Structure 1
Amino acid sequence: MSSVTAAARRAAAPAARLPLVLAVAVVLAAIAYPLTDGGGRDAVSWTIVLLGSAVSVTSAAVAHGPRTGLSVLGLVAATAVVFESVGVATGFPYGPYAYSDVLGPTLLGVPFLVPLAWLMMAWPSWVLARLLTRRVRPGRQRPARVVVAAAVFAAWDVVLDPQLVQAGYWTWARPQPGLPGIDTVPLTNLAGWLLAGLVLMTLLDLVVARTALPGGRRTGDAAPLLVLGWMTLGGALAHAAFLDLPGSAAWGAALAVPVLVTLAVQARRP
């Protein structure tokens, strides 16, 4: 029996390493982004999102089983299309905005790349929230996890949105008032992302609970956390040094501080 178990573990090892390999590829593509321009930069954007969404699906599947991976893919894509199509048509809940033709084919007015970007962001946000709330009282852990995951999800967009507006992927009809230092993205967008995040993370938490294989997680969270960490902190560095976006760079650094402090405090506790 032990030889069979060992053989099964050896067979599963390459699949368990796949999310981390994809995450490293995301980091390399993200490094290339500020070093390119024009059509080359657009190609890098697609590469980042495709690889990042693959990290989310594969890491969810490796950690909780293939059913969870596929369920995360379907749930996030469907939720993204609903929110974004309503947003484009009505301006709710983000404020009025319009996509450019740069992102290619659309579904209900939503470029195909957008649900994949949500997928890239959603799973790492949920994984980090689970770590940040692991010491919360069990009865309050789920609502705390959902709220924190929604906040991380929205904070990620604080860094990402100015970059993609600069790239010409979408424009805001009324970009003011915005966060101090960010004059191209309105505060309504942040409110909309918080609302969308609360809905999405509530559903995502339920999906994981209902589809995960028994026995708990089967691997670590290195891949999604690497993607989240580099795309936010690395993105803030790129904004400051290469993209002439000091406001979003400062916000990215500031929003990372409470997360890092919380993780450090938790690590020091027995």
Structure 2
Amino acid sequence: MVHPVPAAPPPHATRPAGVAATVAGRLRIGPVWALVALAVLVQIVYPLIPEAGRTAVTVLSVVVFAAASLADCARVHGYLSALALAVVAGGGGLFVESLGLRTGFPFGEYHYTGTLGPELFGVPVVVPLAWTMMAWPALVVGRTLCTRTVPVVLTAGLALASWDVFLDAQMVAAGHWYWTHPDPGLPLVPGIPLTNYAGWVLVAVVICGALHLALGGGPDGRRSRSTPAAVLYLWTYASSVLAHLAFFALPGSALVGGLLMGAIAIPYGRKVTRATRSRAVAGSDTERG
């Protein structure tokens, strides 16, 4: 009796599952890395061009950075989660900025000068995009450094709010907005009241808390492991210190922002570095075995 010879499996079926997953993962992550690289490139260009052209580059920088964050969130958690990021961070940022313009709560009384392009409810459209662009990396920071819900949310909120020391100092110096009553403020960072930073902490914690729950949070919320998000956050920290010190003539915000944001960014960078080295060592051991 002649037994039929089984057909050869298709080429992809002979690959180990891990290899197939890795190839698919690399394909998915490619556009994210392209957006991350573009965001970094635009920010490098910003301080090198004449001041007259910087406003357009500011808007472009925020748009590209926000696109990178949304794409990375979609890569890690899916497209619906990226939509949640846009709604929670972008929509929440738009709401609170509009509220602040009309009531002075929670940031203090401030005014936009009309230099940042189209507005919605009196708020430049680029502003809620700025909340979106940093909310995702900040959440990744919180989930990397902590595991329980409350520490995750508080750490993520502070990771987001501490960035504002750089943001407001730069934007006020560039003339994009101003405060009616700028005092008292942080030492060495004139023109911005303490109420602004208090408002940022409050809003950032609420946004990060809602985002943590929307993206699978809980008593032991699932971590978001993302190298692109780590690059975005750590690049923002390091480049902000350098730009404020060397290009914007803002040594006060370089120092104060470097200390406040660095209190989270530096431990986070160390943890990311250790994890990367551990994975590299584990990969080497696997290859030798």
Output the TM-score relative to the length of structure 1.
0.87
Structure 2 distance, partners of 1:76, 1:87, is 16
Match of 1:245 in 2: 250
Match of 1:85 in 2: 98
Report deviation, 1:254. Answer: 1.1
Whether 1:162 and 2:169 are equivalent positions in the alignment is yes
The secondary structure found in structure 1 opposite 2:249 is coil
Letter in 2 for 1:70: L
Report deviation, 1:10. Answer: 3.8
Output the TM-score relative to the length of structure 2.
0.82
Match of 2:57 in 1: 44
Match for residue 186 of structure 1 among 169, 179, 193: 193
Letter in 2 for 1:246: P
Structure 1 distance, partners of 2:209, 2:270, is 26
Q: Does the 8 A contact of 1:20 with 1:222 survive in 2?
A: no
Q: Quick one: structure 1 residues 241 and 89, their matched pair in 2 at CA, closer, same or farther if it must change by over 3 Å?
A: same
Match for residue 3 of structure 1 among 12, 23, 39: 12
Aligned length in residues? 257
Q: Does the 8 A contact of 1:97 with 1:173 survive in 2?
A: yes
Match of 2:28 in 1: 15
Match of 2:145 in 1: 132
Structure 1 distance, partners of 2:268, 2:159, is 13
- Runs of 4+ in structure 1 deviating by more than 3 angstroms, as ranges, are 4-12, 261-268
Q: Quick one: structure 1 residues 205 and 174, their matched pair in 2 at CA, closer, same or farther if it must change by over 3 Å?
A: same
Q: Quick one: structure 1 residues 220 and 203, their matched pair in 2 at CA, closer, same or farther if it must change by over 3 Å?
A: closer
Match for residue 235 of structure 2 among 222, 230, 236: 230
Higher Cα radius of gyration: 2
Match of 2:283 in 1: none
Whether 1:63 and 2:76 are equivalent positions in the alignment is yes
Cα RMSD over matched residues? Answer: 2.3
Q: Where in structure 2 are the equivalents of 1:24-35 lying within 5 Å?
A: 24-35=37-48
The secondary structure found in structure 1 opposite 2:115 is helix
Fraction of identical pairs, as percent: 37
Report deviation, 1:52. Answer: 0.8
Report deviation, 1:258. Answer: 2.9
Whether 1:177 and 2:190 are equivalent positions in the alignment is no
The secondary structure found in structure 1 opposite 2:163 is helix
Q: Does the 8 A contact of 1:179 with 1:187 survive in 2?
A: yes
Q: Does the 8 A contact of 1:233 with 1:252 survive in 2?
A: no
Q: Quick one: structure 1 residues 2 and 154, their matched pair in 2 at CA, closer, same or farther if it must change by over 3 Å?
A: farther
The secondary structure found in structure 2 opposite 1:43 is helix
Q: Does the 8 A contact of 1:132 with 1:263 survive in 2?
A: no
Letter in 2 for 1:229: L
Match of 2:133 in 1: 120
Q: Does the 8 A contact of 2:144 with 2:268 survive in 1?
A: no
**Mind listing any 5+ residue stretches in structure 2 that lack a counterpart?**
1-9, 279-289
Q: Which is worse superposed, 83-92 or 4-13?
A: 4-13
Match of 1:264 in 2: 270
Structure 2 distance, partners of 1:248, 1:59, is 29
Structure 2 distance, partners of 1:27, 1:118, is 17
Structure 2 distance, partners of 1:240, 1:2, is 56
**Mind listing any 5+ residue stretches in structure 1 that lack a counterpart?**
135-140, 211-215
